[in-house]
Amino acid sequence: MNVYLVGFMGSGKSEVGRRLAEKIGWAFEDTDEIVETLEGRTVERIFAESGEGRFREVEQRILGEVSARTGRVVATGGGLFLHAQRRALMRRTGVVVWLDASLESIRERLGPEDGRPLWRHEEPIAMRALYEKRRAAYALADFRVDTSAADPEEIASRILARVRPVWR
Ligand code: S3P
């Protein structure tokens, strides 16, 4: 049993995940961080040098490994829950929580020089389209938490209150 945090870039998965793991006393995993460690380069460089396909391949392998363990809070990259098979794997091995923030709050958090290859601060219309398109997939999580305004600590407490009954 794991807890998977899914949602758009900048929705707070890593920050909230770290705090949630601490509260539960579980290990914290961040799929983007693991990709970077394994590849020895940043996500940005992987996209630029080897393409998104390579990144998705490594990401999928990592999900396979992480989901074979239990007792983890896993912050996932924003594209991981979009793929039906990966989604099914997460749902089978844990509780999936959608961290949902307004695009406006995401824009404030990420800013222009973010280092995320798919985030284009200067293209608000394209970002709106990507954001809207992905919501249908994120909505397949077990439940949704709005992260637009509250701080990460409080969000982690709210998630804990929701997942505890599922464990019983
Ligand atoms: C991606 C989100 C990023 C990272 C990669 C692709 C996406 O992670 O995995 O840049 O497709 O939404 P965060 O959601 O942690 O920003």
Per-position pLDDT tens, the chain of length 168: 999 999 999 999 999 999 999 999 999 999 999 999 999 999 999 999 999 999 999 999 999 999 999 999 999 999 999 999 999 999 999 999 999 999 999 999 999 878 899 999 999 999 999 999 999 999 999 999 999 998 999 999 999 999 887 765
In eight-state DSSP terms, residue 77 is: P
Closest residue CA from atom 16 of ligand 1: 9
C-alpha closest to that of 6 among 158, 134, 154: 134
**Ligand 1 center from residue 36 Cα (angstroms):** 12
Closest residue CA from atom 4 of ligand 1: 77
Place of tokens 């999936």: 96
| Cβ proximity of 141 and 6 under 8 Å | yes
Is the Cβ atom of 158 under 6 angstroms away from ligand 1? no
- Give the integer Cα–Cα distance in Å for 166 and 135: 24
Is the Cβ atom of 7 under 6 angstroms away from ligand 1? no
Atom of ligand 1 nearest to the CA of 118: 10
Atom of ligand 1 nearest to the CA of 43: 10
- Give the integer Cα–Cα distance in Å for 146 and 164: 18
**Ligand 1 center from residue 168 Cα (angstroms):** 32
Residues 6+ apart with CB under 8 A from 49: 41
- Give the integer Cα–Cα distance in Å for 112 and 122: 7
